[in-house]
Structures are given as C-alpha cells and as structure tokens.
Structure 1
C-alpha cells in the first residue's frame, strides 16, 4: 500500500505531489531545506524524543546569511530609490517586499507620528501581510517533522490548497481521524531565521547610528526594534498562540455571541496550531453580512462591548483586532489569530478607567497621577518636570475633553497620550502601547465598515454600568474616607514640619535652598556671557600691562623689546583670537 493511501486522502482530482501556484523564496528554500534535513536526521537518531536544538543554533544565524540578507536589502533599497525623496506608497511597498519583520515594523511606526509624518503613518496602516503560498510538499514535510509519525495517525484528509497565506504562516483545512473539521496553521519554514536575521541587522544599524546622531528619534527606534523582538518571540512560538486561543475560549464560555476557534492543545507545537475550522463571513465583507441578514450596527456594538470587557474586566485582550481577524458564523462573532494579545493586571485596568474619566472630567492633575502610576521609569535621572508635564497634559485635555462623544477619537487620544509621556521621559509599559494600537485598529475597522457605531460611548457606558449604583456609592465613600485619612495625616505631618522649622529658625539653624525650575538654559547662557567678559578683562589687562612694560624698558630686552612685554602681547593675541573664534562658533550654531 502506498503512502498516499495510508496517510490521508487527497482531494478528488488532485495528485498528492501536485505543486500549487506560488513558490518559496530563495531564503525560505535554503533555510527551510536545512531545517527539514536537520529534523529528519534527528528523527532517525532519536525516534522517541523531540529534536533538541542548542540555544545558539535556534535561529541558524551565520555571517554568510547576514551578508546575503544585507545584499538583498540593498537591492530593494536601490529598486525603490529610498534616497530620492521616497513617497509613502513606495515606503509601504518596500516594507511589504522586505518581509514580515519590516511589515511589522511598519505597522508599529504607523502609530508613531512623532517619528514619521502623518501621511506616512496613514499609508503604513494599509500594509498587507498576505503573500504567495509555499508549495504543499513543504507544508507536508513540516508536519512530518513536527509530529514525527505518519500523518494518517493524525489527519484523515488535508486540503492542498491553503485557506490563506501570510508572511509568517499559512492555513490549510483538514479533518482529524476523530472526525473534527479543523484549520491547521503551519509556520513557513525558514521564516524564524529570516525574521531573526532582520532584527539582528536592525539592532546593529540603530546601535551604530545612535553613536553619530543623538536624537530622541533614534532612542525611539531602539525601542521599536526591541518591541519587534518581543513581538517576534511571541508570534513565532505557536504554543503561545494556542494557549492564547485556549484562554480566550475559556473566558468567553459564558458570553453569548462571542467566541474563538477552540485549539487542540495535544496537536499544537512551536510551529503548528490545530484549531476548529470556522467557515464564516469576514467583517471586511459588509455586503455579505447584510445579505446574510446581519445588522452591522449590532455586530459593531457587540464587538466593542466585548472588547471593553476584554480590556477592562478580563485583562486579556486581542491586540490586533483588524477586519481579517474577525468573522461571523451563525450569529456568533469569532476572533481569530491570537498571536498578539495583551494582558493587564487589575491595577492596570483601574488606571485605564481613571484615565478615561480624567479626560472626560477635564481633571489634568488626576490624569498626570494616573500616568505616573502606570510609568515603569521616569528618565535616566528619575527627575520629572511636573510643571511642564502638566502643561502638556493641559493641551491634550483641551483638545479632547471638550469634544462630543461622537467626535472623540479615542485611538488618536491614546496615541497622543503615549507620545506625550515619552516626550517627558515617562516610559509606559508595553501593554499600554499595545492597547493604544489595538484601539486604533478597532476604530479604523469601525470607521470603514461600521461608521454608525460610537465606540467611546459604548466604552463609557460599559464602565458606568459595570457596578450598581449602591456599589459605586460604597466605593466612592470608601475612597473619600481613604483620601480624608491621607489628608489628615498630611496635615499633621505639615504641622510637625512647621514646628521643627520654627525651632531651627529661632536658633539660626534654618537654611533655604531655592531652585528655579526650567532656568538651567538661561543660567548656562548667563554663565557663558560672564566667562567671555572675564576673558575680555584678562586680555585687556595683559595688553595694558605689556604696554607699561614696553615703555618702561624693563629688562631683559631683546632687539629693543622687553621679553615680558612681548610674552604679554603674544598671550593677549592668542586669547583674543580664541575668544573671537568661540563667539563666532556660538553665533553660527544659533543660526
């Protein structure tokens, strides 16, 4: 009996070895072949144990592969003429052609308007991740390498035509030997290696550039690269995605109308995810949803309400809720592709609620306190200019607090808030930027496909309805009592400090140290002026003193010129030239 007959059935009219359209890239073929050969050797040597890869060999990085990849990148840079006034469209196409890591970097930069102009950010939000599929034979070999047993023991049938193909993985429909219809997500061979190589190259470029260009943008780019690395580690480990699916499914067991595909954990590996097959209608096809009898407004409201629950109640949310990741079947909204999720502690969720209410109430000090509670660091020195921070927050509240709910762009608000915190050296945890990016993505989905859904109104209502009136009053009374106790303690401490200061004052032991905030630049400028004036006095003194020595003919004398006078003139000339050069350089720098 042939392998074709014993493993699984091929679809009618399709040969087992037929190769569908789309070829693997040279990088995928070369790296992928080495991966498969290594797996095959491991299978032959240790049939009952998974292959063990040393940490240093995990991504198969080499100097030769690095040089090859750098050469490929430079070819694409020349193709798109990046040095010749690159346009937003050309930048987007370049990133798509460079590969998954560059696409991911573009998606992150799309929300970083402090680094790129807004027109570039708008265009980068259109980045697509769909690519030509790899041949089915490679997918089959990958499954063999992962399961290390005949596929007939796992699947009774696998469709050779992929349901979808992205830059990191592609999905095939299949049927388990137990009869369940499933979707099998298989990681592209070599994708991990290429992505790791690209991040390594990016790190080197940013690290090298930071030595020559000391700007906030390069500091931010360093953070972008590190965010890419963390995202890469999560998205390329499909075990984590399977666990995310399992957690999301458990969280929504009691929720009507919201779910996700159920994973089969025993069949999931680092490079393969097996989950229920859901044949639904994508949110990106509103006409099909309307034809199927769905109300776009009701679907949108349900999605936003559940997303509010994910963020504010569960603390576990889908971090990339774009249209391609949400489908509808039999009245149930399914979130798919949970490779990127955010997790918030109860502490973080309370702060998010405080931030939303602070802006709604125009309470700038409360907004500042909430952000500082969120902060993981406050600059290198730990110092923070609270006056400047409050002033910047005043502008944000002025821009957003006065808007009607229907006009409030919560995605833009959160992005502005993150950018402002970064400007003031207040570093917020990555979950905040992930939440902001998720809200921007969800808001873009609603504005394009469900424009009549008011997201901020639903979120505000969700928070307001979260507790009963009695519970809110109880919490308010508890908070008031805590604040009153804190104020009373502060008053007692202040009285004690005043008494101590009074005793020190009567004994002549009180000293006052005054610091004028924001005056450092002025003081440096005044110090420079004083230094130049002092040097001018020294030069004038040398010139006058040398003239006195010259006319007094103080010995020793050479060629009729007193040596001391000559040295004084020479010193005055050198100092005057140096002072003039310094004044010219400072004036030129200001221009």
Structure 2
C-alpha cells in the first residue's frame, strides 16, 4: 500500500501526457505516417504544430528516464516525425542533467569496493556525456591507460521498473478494450521494450556484449569496439577503453570532400551483415550517439546495452529476404516474409504479396541518399499487421538497425550502391557461414546422427517387410474421426427404425378403428386410440430431438 501514491502519480503523468498530445496535429501526422496513410493537402503543408519541438522534449524529461529513453528511440525515426522534432529529440541522447560528482564518487567506491583514488590515477569530475540511464567520465588507470567510465544513475532501476509496470498495465487494458491496440499488439511491443531496458540496466551484460562483438569483428581493421576492463566494472559501473572521436553526424562537409569513404562504408555494411546473418548477434542501436568517427577515419561502435539475437533458422530466412530486397524482387520478398510469419484464417496473403511487390518495385534503382532499406522493412512490417500477418519481432529490430545504418552510409558516401553491396557481401558471408558449419564438431554431430540412422534402418525394414508379408501393414490417416462417423450412422439408423415403428402404429390404429369395441376413448375404439396416442407422442419426441438436440442443427454458423 505504501507505493500507491507513486502508482497514482505515474498514472496521472502518463494520462496527462496522452491527453495533451492525443488530439494534436503532431500526433495525427505521426499516426498517419505510421499507418501509411496520407494527410490532406492542407494538413500536409508546412505549419506550426500545437506543441513545439522544445516543448515535447521538456515534457518527456518531466515524465522521467523511461520516457526519455522512448524519446531517444523516436529521435532515430525520420519516417515518423518532422526534422525539427528529430533534431530536438536527439539532444535527449547527451543533454540530460548530470549527476553531481559526489554521488558518482559514492556509487563507484561502493561498487568497486575501493577508494576512487586507488582505482584510478586521475578521474575527470565533469562528464563527457550524460544520458537517461547513466553518464560517462574520462579517467586514467594507474598503468597510464585512458579509459571511459560509465556510471548508472542512482535509483534509476526503481524508476524504470515503476514506469514499465504502469505501461504494462495500461497496454494490457488497451489491448483488452481497443481493437487497434490488439491488432498492433502493443502489449508485445512494450514487453520487448521492457526486456531491452532491463538489460540496459545491467552493465555486466553490456561488458559481455562488448567482448562478444569485439571478437566477432576482429577481422575488420577500421572498426573499433572498446574492450571492457573487468576489474573496474560491476553491474552499475562499466570501465572500458577510451576511444577519441566525434559523432559521425558532425562530420564536416570539407572532410567529406577530401576523403573517399567508400571502402570504409563497404566494411561497415559487411560487418553488420555478418552480425545479422552469420553471428546472430548484432549491435541493435547504431544511432549517431553510439557511433564515433575517429581522427584516423575509423568507426567506433560503443554503447552495447541494446543487442539483437537471431536464431540459425531466422538467419537463413533473413539471407533470402535481404537478397530479394537487394534484387528488387517483390515476389521473393513477399514469399520470404510469409515463410517466417504466423498466419491465421484472417490473413490476407494475396493482398500482402501484391502490396509488398509494389513497395519493392517503387524503391528500385535508388542510391544511398534516397534508398532507406530499414524504412522499407518497417513499412513491410506495418503492411503485414494491416493484412493480419504476424512477422517475427526480429524483422522490426532489423528494420531499426538498417534504418540507422542507412543514415550513416548516406552521410559517408551518398552515392553508395547499398543494394549491390548487400548482394556482394551476402554471397561472401554465406560462403564463410558454410565453411564455419563444416567445422569438425558439426561434422561429427552429423556423423553420429547418420550412424544411428544406419544402425536402426535394418530393424525397421525387417518389421515393415514382415508386416507386409503377414498382411498386417497399416497406414493410419488422422483425417476423419471414425467413431464420430460410426455414431452418426447409428443415430440415423435408429431414427429411421423409430420412424417406421411410429408409421406402423398409426397405420395399425387406423385399421383398428374399423373394429367395434366396448372399450372406448373419446368415443373411439380404445385400443386404436392408445396406438395413435403412443405414435403421436413418439413423433413429437423424435421431432424435438431432431430440431433442438441435434449438434449439426444446434451449432449452425
């Protein structure tokens, strides 16, 4: 009961925010774009929205860290919001008010179990960046090695859990009572958001993610992944190698003109394709705040709190999907998506396939500055929802990865042919994947399965031939319920028999009417009337059973 005021406050904040933006022009435009609808010409013209970009940013800050994180996700979605709002929301990535150094010092000493002066030779009090979950300080180990130290904000875990609990409850209500919320499965969306955000709160997982990605991409000389320093890290403190550089979006036009970044872009695209379709482990949040461009023209991938994992089966499906999109083959694209989807009786496969083909054909012959592969995937995901086809959540994650990657590629080399690069690299990565799968351990596993198959084959063949020789070979087809069919025939036979008996009784009663008798009922021969009344009662009962009790009549659609 003690947390009830906090719960009421959380509900109040969320409802107040939704009431403010629900009927705004900004929300209507965002919804129209998200649903792939068009606005009227008057609505589509440039004009001032009800709320300014700065007002939206301030409202999200007041809502708390969870909503700041949502704002960060929105800042990487140019397919949803106008440019001025994207620019304002991008400041949420590094302009959050910093935690006072005294609190930072207390957290570090508590987590590492030692004085900050003993752990580090020097530690800058002013943070390099301050985000919704934590902030980063530059420091130097006693060995002279420069490091970046990320410290989690105090009390942030409780705030996240409280806000996420509120969102869970509200989305559950929305799905229960609103058809649109059910169609777009917003409860599943927030369940995925909850998982991602809770993982980001554990810096031990991020340290392991850095190690895994660094090992997977060690062959790429121009890609840098900072290694974590385990002895100076914990669940709330992450110490890693310091990488000097700037945001990739801050690259000056002069530097772009003086350098040819085509090879660097090729390497970046290949690295991400390898993560997705070979390793099954990918940096899932490559927005500009998480990509640094060094003085040596190298790219550093930092902040691995958010990663994506793809199963081997899904990796194979994604290979087909990416190749189909890169070849502008709408039919194959639709086939690949349908193959990995969940279908129901309401699924409109033909309509989905036709619309997918139209979308893919429209995007043909686009260069990097125009083509947005990620946006196409997100659009296809919406088309699937609109036609009652459920794609794996990984498709939307892949769309988000490629959407951010599109922006980076377009920044470094606007004329880069991304589709040709996908085709080149996918074929090469497939070759490497096949070689990897031919490793001795995989070969021996297949050999053991083959051994079991060969060992069991003679016995199985003997049993089959013996059953054939004894005329005991049976094939069971579970297509018709034999017992149900037999019961149905028996019911029909019983009804026919009862009907014949009733008819015979009526005929017998009519014949007895001609025979005089002292025993009468209603002035008619008594025996004849008894047969007639029994026949009438039987006919009424049989009619009632047929009309009201038979399953096939009682359960009509």
- TM-score, normalised to structure 1's length? 0.61
Pick the aligned partner of 2:389 from 419, 426, 430: 426
- How far is the alpha carbon of 1:124 from its aligned partner? 4.9
Q: Please tell me whether the aligned partners of residues 331 and 357 of structure 2 are also in contact (alpha carbons under 8 angstroms).
A: no
Q: Secondary structure at the match of 1:172?
A: strand
Query: For 1:216 and 1:457, how far apart are their aligned partners in 2?
Result: 38
Change (3 A) 1:361 1:134: closer
Whether 1:397 and 2:397 are equivalent positions in the alignment is: no
Query: For 2:408 and 2:248, how far apart are their aligned partners in 1?
Result: 9
Q: Please tell me whether the aligned partners of residues 349 and 387 of structure 2 are also in contact (alpha carbons under 8 angstroms).
A: no
Query: For 1:143 and 1:369, how far apart are their aligned partners in 2?
Result: 53
Pick the aligned partner of 1:229 from 194, 207, 229: 194
Deviations 1:18-47 (A, max 9, x none): xxxxxxxxxxxxxxxxxxxxxxxxxxxxxx
Q: Secondary structure at the match of 1:242?
A: helix
Change (3 A) 1:378 1:74: closer
- How far is the alpha carbon of 1:83 from its aligned partner? 5.3
Q: Secondary structure at the match of 1:161?
A: coil
Deviations 1:78-118 (A, max 9, x none): 8x6765655473545533442332233345567899xxx94
Change (3 A) 1:439 1:125: farther
Deviations 1:128-163 (A, max 9, x none): 322111100011111122123333442222111111
- How far is the alpha carbon of 1:296 from its aligned partner? 4.3
Change (3 A) 1:154 1:360: closer
Whether 1:62 and 2:3 are equivalent positions in the alignment is: yes
Deviations 1:372-416 (A, max 9, x none): 3323x335x6x644333333333333333x444555431221112
Whether 1:416 and 2:366 are equivalent positions in the alignment is: no
Query: For 2:232 and 2:131, how far apart are their aligned partners in 1?
Result: 21
**Equivalence for 1:268:** 233
Query: For 2:211 and 2:257, how far apart are their aligned partners in 1?
Result: 29
Q: Secondary structure at the match of 1:278?
A: coil
Query: For 2:235 and 2:402, how far apart are their aligned partners in 1?
Result: 29
Q: Please tell me whether the aligned partners of residues 110 and 124 of structure 1 are also in contact (alpha carbons under 8 angstroms).
A: yes
Change (3 A) 1:85 1:396: closer
Give the 5 Å matches for 1:81-120. 85=25, 87=49, 89=53, 90-91=55-56, 93-106=58-71, 118-119=80-81
**Equivalence for 2:93:** 129
Q: Please tell me whether the aligned partners of residues 281 and 327 of structure 1 are also in contact (alpha carbons under 8 angstroms).
A: yes
Whether 1:186 and 2:127 are equivalent positions in the alignment is: no
Q: Please tell me whether the aligned partners of residues 104 and 228 of structure 1 are also in contact (alpha carbons under 8 angstroms).
A: no
**Equivalence for 2:405:** 442
Unpaired runs of at least 5, structure 2:
27-48, 436-484, 486-557
**Equivalence for 1:459:** 422
Deviations 1:418-460 (A, max 9, x none): 1122223333333221111011112123334543333333222
**Equivalence for 2:488:** none
Deviations 1:450-497 (A, max 9, x none): 43333333222212444679x99xxxxxxxxxxxxxxxxxxxxxxxxx
Whether 1:198 and 2:163 are equivalent positions in the alignment is: yes
Larger Cα-atom Rg: 2
- TM-score, normalised to structure 2's length? 0.64
**Equivalence for 1:317:** 282
Q: Secondary structure at the match of 1:334?
A: strand
Query: For 1:457 and 1:291, how far apart are their aligned partners in 2?
Result: 22
Root-mean-square deviation (CA, aligned residues, Å) is: 3.8
Query: For 1:370 and 1:198, how far apart are their aligned partners in 2?
Result: 37
**Equivalence for 2:121:** 156
Q: Please tell me whether the aligned partners of residues 105 and 228 of structure 1 are also in contact (alpha carbons under 8 angstroms).
A: no
Pick the aligned partner of 1:248 from 213, 234, 237: 213
**Equivalence for 1:332:** 298
Query: For 2:2 and 2:419, how far apart are their aligned partners in 1?
Result: 46
